[in-house]
Amino acid sequence: MGDLFGTNGVRGVANVELTVEMVTRLAGSAGALLGKDIALGTDGRTTSPMFKEAAVSGLLSVGCTVHDVGMLPTPALQFSVRRLGLDGGLMVTASHNPPEFNGVKVMANDGVEISRERENEIEALFFEGGPELSPWDSVGCVRRRETLERYNRAIIEHVDSGLVEGGGLKVALDPGNGVAALAAPEIARRLGCEVFTVNANVDGRFPGRDSEPRPDNLGDLAALVEATGADVGVAFDGDGDRALFVDEGGKVHWGDRSFALVARDFMDKNPGAEVATPVSSSRVIEDVVEAGGGRIVWTKVGSVDVSRNMVDGGIGLGGEENGGIMYGPHLEVRDGSMSLALVLEIMARTGEPLSRLFAGLPVYEQMKDKVSCPNELKGKALEALRGAVEAPRVETMDGVKLWYGDGSWILIRPSGTEPVFRLYAESETQERVREILDENRVLVESLIEGLN
């Protein structure tokens, strides 16, 4: 079996790893399996128009009706699939990857990325001869659909817009020249905010900054916050499904903190609710959910697993530490603009500066490490590790996660892309987190050595 899909759709360097021929065949294979009516959207990359035409051709060749929703954020494409009642959707995007990359994300009829099993079916069709082509008189057709306005409206309807309007908030936005520029500023304005922007023209060369927002590349946004006296700054990734927040002092807060902020508010409104998050998530999420009488539903690492758990379990909130928040009442997918609206509502209701809201959350020390392990030994090493670890709580759905009596934890996982095991640990003090990392690194090293 080939290896078309990665952790988040199909990605590669345009015209090198990912070609027009591949996208045509992929789109045809996906269309043949998903059904007749397929939404198609793109991000703003320079190669997206080229791959879009390839996807159109592939879909038409198997008899699909293409619902062309144009250039828009990935979550808006996902919303369109659900809203228009379609059989699935394709998004031409490489999310936060560098500008030379492109890719395709495939959505099921509920708007969520397809399951791993569905990906395998599409791969099988792709590699084993391709889909069956339609006769000349039953190829598909293209319909243009305008859905961005309805998407913007839906987000506004999911928050108390009167409350946010009354808050008189000043908002600085940095879409990073990505497609969040097409939705987030408009949504914030219609929520009564005074909006300032940087890198808000869609440009597939990403001249402003990397399309992956990180604390080290948000200097322009922090400067904009300072210059305008904004109450909050928000940076988005290339396809607008993730958001990172900057407080009124220009400090960037990592995604687990903003997710915790939203989760705490969600628990106030929905006491006892379940919240879905990957086993890699910070204890700060557990803290706020448990304080609200709720329960964490742990998932494998990866946004699709969180989304699928939410849909299957009727869970209202999910999130990842990288700034992907999934608000179920809207759609069980990561959505940067929805995250923005939720945080604005929290700020308006509390009337507190964002820095103080963040300061109200527990703080933990985090550290990472890695241990070399040949790919062919990863399976055996993981099995040995599962047998060797001892802790009050152990979770083995994805790697091995151990919780200790003092609330510290470590996650040990084989990397999907490199010949290493990755170790992530979190604790209240630097000394303790170092101790846990060292202890477990030695254990993993000795287990791997024993297999050699």
Note the residues at the interface with Mg ion (CB under 5 A). 95, 237, 239, 241
For Mg ion, the closer CB: 183 or 357? 183
Q: How far is the CB of 267 from Mg ion (least distance, A)?
A: 26
At residue 413, φ and ψ (nearest 5 deg) are -135, 140
Report the residue closest to Mg ion, judged by CB.
95
Find residue 317's DSSP bridge partners: 275, 327
Q: Which of 180/342 has CB closer to Mg ion?
A: 180
Query: Which residues, including other chains, have CB under 8 Å from residue 34's CB and lie 6 or more apart?
Result: 87, 88, 106, 108, 109, 114
Q: For the CB of residue 96, give the shortest distance to Mg ion in the complex, in Å.
A: 5
| 326 within 8 A of 230, measured Cβ to Cβ | no
Q: How far is the CB of 241 from Mg ion (least distance, A)?
A: 4
- Please name which of 299, 319, 343 lies closest in space to residue 155, comparing C-alpha atoms: 343
Give 72 or 347: the residue with its C-beta nearer to Mg ion.
72
Given a contact cutoff of 8 angstroms between Cβ atoms, the answer to whether 83 and 145 are in contact is: no
Torsion of CA 106, 93, 19, 416, to 10 degrees: -70
Could you give the C-alpha distances from 405 to 241, 390, 394, 401, 429, in angstroms and in order?
Answer: 36, 11, 12, 13, 14
- The order of strands in the sheet holding 37-42 is 10-13, 101-107, 88-92, 37-42, 65-71, 142-144
Nearer to Mg ion, 43 or 286 (CB): 43
Q: In whole angstroms, how close is the CB of 136 to Mg ion at the nearest point?
A: 39
Write down the least CB distance from residue 320 to Mg ion, Å: 11
- Least distance (Å) from Mg ion to the CB of residue 239? 4
The residue whose two tokens read 């243009």 is 144
Is 91 or 288 the residue whose CB approaches Mg ion more closely? 91
Judged by CB, which is closer to Mg ion: 123, or 212? 212
Q: Whose Cβ is closer to Mg ion: residue 95's or residue 277's?
A: 95
Check if 258 is active-site: no
Nearer to Mg ion by Cβ, of 241 and 332: the residue is 241
Question: Least distance in Å: CB of 210 to Mg ion?
Answer: 13
Closest distance to Mg ion from the beta carbon of 414 (Å) = 24
Identify which of residues 237 and 305 has a Cβ nearer to Mg ion in the complex.
237
Q: Is 376 exposed, middle or buried (0-12, 13-18, 19+ CB in 10 A)?
A: exposed
186/312 Cα distance (integer angstroms): 32
> Given 29, 95, 258, 307, which residue is catalytic?
95
- Least distance from C-beta 331 to Mg ion, angstroms? 15
* 452 Cβ contact list (under 8 Å, min separation 6): 377
Spatial separation of the C-alpha atoms in residues 354 and 369, rounded to whole Å? 31
Q: Which residues are catalytic?
A: 95
